[in-house]
Amino acid sequence: MPELPEVETIKRGLEKSVVGKTISDFDCDWKKMINKPLTEYRKVIKGLKIEGMRRRAKMLIIDLQKDWHLLVHLKMTGQLVYASKIKCVVGGHRIAEGYQCLPNKFTHATITFSDNSRLFFNDIRKFGWMRLYTGLEVQKELENMKLGPEPLASEFTLEYLHTVMKKRPNNKIKQFLMDSKVVVGVGNIYSDEVCFYAKVKPMRKVKSLKENEIKLIYKAIRTILEASIKAQGTTFSDFRNADGEAGGYSAKLKAYGRYGEPCKVCKSEIKRWKMGGRSSSYCPKCQK
Ligand SMILES: [Zn+2]
């Protein structure tokens, strides 16, 4: 599942290619992916120009003329590929079939632009979606999700973190960090990394945190997500040398997925803790 830094990378990569382009056609072969009949999509978006692209949590918002918007979620296995005669921009889940042949059997929606370049939505498991809304509808939809602040936005302050922690004293730290109502974008990977950075075990309760640990958690969330957004720049590449490699941050991971391996700091064996269907990796010595 692409996490926040990856979706931000997709946004940055795609906006350079598609903003300013006019949509000449839309196609979709998977009804559940869209929220209106295909004929209505076509009627509404044909002829509209893409005015901008935004990200909220792990969703992309493609802003069209006349206050229409496409709200896009790649979910587990979604991938967006922009292809023109001269370039190919790929973001999201890696699909082994490659991009040489587009559309392919995983392509479920295609936006064609007036210059004949296209934006493909490929999805192996078909959980992703691309919903068409008016400005008011998209705003309502986002409000209903009751999402917490963006981790790198100015609303996400240390004071805010204190306030939400007081409301959830008995949450386990890992569960607390991964709750999108607390802060968006800290998924399974980054919650492990934040705990490692802050030197706290993921299974501890929020109320057990000392002041300096809370400060470190706050700092970790911002530092790690910022670094990861920078590193994920490598997910995007040119058609000729592209193979959709994983973002550059994977080599920097200190805890996530390293169960059984030696800690990069103290050499102790990284342990695993299971919470619900998820597992966490942590260093039993570095993390208190
Ligand atoms: Zn260690």
Q: Decide if 271 is catalytic.
A: no
Query: Is residue 24 located within the same domain as residue 69?
Result: yes
Name the catalytic one among 42, 204, 278, 285.
278
Interval 147-171 mean pLDDT: 97
pLDDT of residue 240: 31
| CA-wise closest residue to 151 among 59, 221, 219, 206 | 221
Measure 244 CA to ligand 1 centroid, in angstroms.
32
Provide the β-strand partners of residue 72: 60, 130
Measure 190 CA to ligand 1 centroid, in angstroms.
17
Does residue 153 fall inside a structural domain?
Answer: no
Query: Is residue 180 located within the same domain as residue 260?
Result: yes
Query: Is residue 121 located within the same domain as residue 167?
Result: no
Does residue 149 fall inside a structural domain?
Answer: no
For 76-85, letters b (16+ CB in 10 Å) and e give ebbbbbbbbe
Residues whose CB is less than 8 angstroms from the CB of residue 217 and which lie 6 or more positions away in sequence, other chains included: 161, 173, 177, 194, 195, 198, 200, 209
Name the catalytic one among 21, 55, 58, 201.
58
Query: Is residue 8 located within the same domain as residue 140?
Result: yes
Q: Residue 149's pLDDT band (boundaries 50, 70, 90)?
A: very high
Query: Is residue 165 located within the same domain as residue 260?
Result: yes
Q: What does pLDDT average to over the chain? A: 90
Measure 199 CA to ligand 1 centroid, in angstroms.
9
In the chain, pLDDT over 70 holds for what percent of residues? Answer: 91
Q: Please check the confidence at residue 100 and state whether its pLDDT lies above 70.
A: no
pLDDT of residue 233: 44
Name the catalytic one among 3, 6, 150, 193.
3
Query: Is residue 182 located within the same domain as residue 248?
Result: yes
| Residue ranges near ligand 1 (ion) with Cβ within 5 Å | 263, 265-266, 268, 283, 285-286
Query: Is residue 121 located within the same domain as residue 178?
Result: no
Q: Decide if 51 is catalytic.
A: no
pLDDT in tens, 50-93: 999 999 999 999 999 999 999 999 998 888 989 998 888 877 77
Query: Is residue 139 located within the same domain as residue 254?
Result: no
Q: Please check the confidence at residue 285 and state whether its pLDDT lies above 90.
A: yes
| 204: containing domain | 158-282
Asked whether 202 and 192 are in contact (CB, 8 A), the reply is: yes
- Provide the number of structural domains found in the chain: 2
Query: Is residue 136 located within the same domain as residue 85?
Result: yes
Q: The domain spanning residue 87 has which CATH number? A: 3.20.190.10
The residue from 144, 171, 199 where one domain ends is 144
Measure 232 CA to ligand 1 centroid, in angstroms.
25
pLDDT in tens, 211-247: 999 999 999 999 999 998 888 644 443 333 334 455 6
Q: The domain spanning residue 255 has which CATH number? A: 1.10.8.50
Query: Is residue 224 located within the same domain as residue 111?
Result: no
pLDDT in tens, 242-263: 344 556 777 788 999 899 999 9
